[in-house]
Structure 1
């Protein structure tokens, strides 16, 4: 049985991983194939990964607790009462979830977020403004609640051309 190789973790995620409490609890939101969950578990973190469709996460997720949940259907947050040392979100945007993610961080916890921004429509999908961050939107989502330690609103060429916003922010 052959599997496609797991994509490399985002350089934005790898850049900030050293700032997560060693051995800490990490949540990978909308984990997809699990590229970040697997990489973080290999670094010794206790990883929870959640996605509406867990079928993309092939093979036994060593060191990862995988959960199927639709985060957009109005169901209760599946991690109610749990706190994480880091939360990683890439290529996913559901605006009502942003304050929930902030509330789910331990003091000292790190939110590492990277997704598509306005301007991405010139490169292809996603092109619907509902799925593209407005200028400064990630900053606005955490203003007064987290300390931003890194932020970019850029066009990237790898793994494919895209307009993205990315932020790393710590709960004080």
Structure 2
């Protein structure tokens, strides 16, 4: 029996569709829902995860790095990507390193759980839930293209998500913190 692949996040599709393919990083890629989609769009993909079994199912898609990024060395030191995708993952000490992997002109698309999600289920520990505007603060050296925080209906969850670019040529746009879909 084959598992039906989970479709890519609407947020990831929204902020990656139409970009000229280049080098993409899917950090904490898991079973590769975004890695697969990006490869189908023509991106040269790199996936990083600590789950060796999950990575085994992604062979042939691109570069796969088995690494425990929370307790081991940062495997991407000095490397830059045109697109960095992070979903459903938060380890605060790595936020500066993650942002540093965005190449000049590159884009970060990040979506994970926010404070308030604990009343809905896991993750429920504050260590794994972004505080209000925390992504905005972490991405202060990037140009924010889009930002949302709030509760989504299906599956029900509280998220915080950002699309940001490392490019001084991008005009500063006003940031509107709104509930997703609002």
Q: Hey, what's the Cα distance between the residues in 2 that align with 1:61 and 1:15?
A: 26
Unaligned runs of 5+ in 1: none
Instruction: Tell me the secondary structure at the aligned position of residue 69 of structure 2.
Output: coil
* 1:110/1:126 CA distance change after superposition, 3 Å: same
Q: Hey, what's the Cα distance between the residues in 2 that align with 1:39 and 1:27?
A: 12
Unaligned runs of 5+ in 2: 168-182
Structure 2 partner of 1:46:
44
Q: Hey, what's the Cα distance between the residues in 2 that align with 1:60 and 1:91?
A: 19
Within the candidate set 157, 160, 168, 2:163 is matched to 168
Structure 1 partner of 2:114:
117
CA displacement 1:19-42 (0-9 Å, x = unmatched): 64x230000001011000000000
Within the candidate set 126, 134, 138, 1:137 is matched to 134
Structure 1 partner of 2:176:
none
Q: TM-score, normalised by structure 2?
A: 0.87
Structure 2 partner of 1:87:
84
CA displacement 1:53-104 (0-9 Å, x = unmatched): 031245343432211100100x321011211001000000011111111111
Structure 1 partner of 2:70:
72
Structure 2 partner of 1:10:
9
Q: CA RMSD in A?
A: 1.3
CA displacement 1:115-161 (0-9 Å, x = unmatched): 00000011111111110000000000011x10110000011122x11
Q: Hey, what's the Cα distance between the residues in 2 that align with 1:23 and 1:56?
A: 24
Q: TM-score, normalised by structure 1?
A: 0.92
Any runs of at least 4 consecutive aligned residues in structure 1 with deviations exceeding 3 A, and if so which? 57-62
